[in-house]
Amino acid sequence: MARGIQVGDQAPDFTLPTQSGDSFRLQDRLGERVVVLYFYPKDNTSGCTAEACAFRDRFEVFTEAGADVIGVSSDSVGKHAGFASKYELPFTLLSDQGGRVRKSYGVPGVLGVIPGRVTYVIDRNGVVRHVFSSMTNIDAHVNDALRVVKELQAEQPA
């Protein structure tokens, strides 16, 4: 098993469909914005809904700090569209059916069946600056990511 993507690694580029069916390519987002890429197990489960809503509730703060929030799970485009609509999620959800991107990042599974919950903060150069993995500590995913985004914003030349 390959080690997962770690701090200092170049983030693997990928293209996946969004909840609206558009194509999203990571490389196209970098340069201008920091990307908070969070992998989560499944739409409409209690932990994933809590995490999505926590990112939603802080979305404006992430945006003002120069970051895009992107959620990734293996759910279909249609499921993502319903999930985003139901909880008024203002950010992009990507459909990684088959888990190809999850595997390329080395996101661990739990008991070999439940996809893991890992958040990556990727700077404008495509370098991973923060990795946080926890199935249960939802708030830390959001709070730690926001802290790192603000640190990266402070590094930017005015």
Residue numbers annotated as active site = 48
Instruction: Return d(Cα 123, Cα 112) in angstroms, integer.
Output: 30
Only one residue has tokens 């945006």, namely 63
Residue 67: strand pairing partners: 34
Among 34, 43, 33, smallest CA distance to 93 is for 43
For residues 52 and 83, the answer to whether their CB atoms sit within 8 Å is yes
Three-state SS for 11-76 is: CCCCEEEECCCCEEEHHHHCCCCEEEEEECCCCCCHHHHHHHHHHHHCHHHHHHCCEEEEEEECCC
Kindly state the tokens that stand for 40.
Answer: 């989560």
Instruction: Return d(Cα 91, Cα 68) in angstroms, integer.
Output: 8
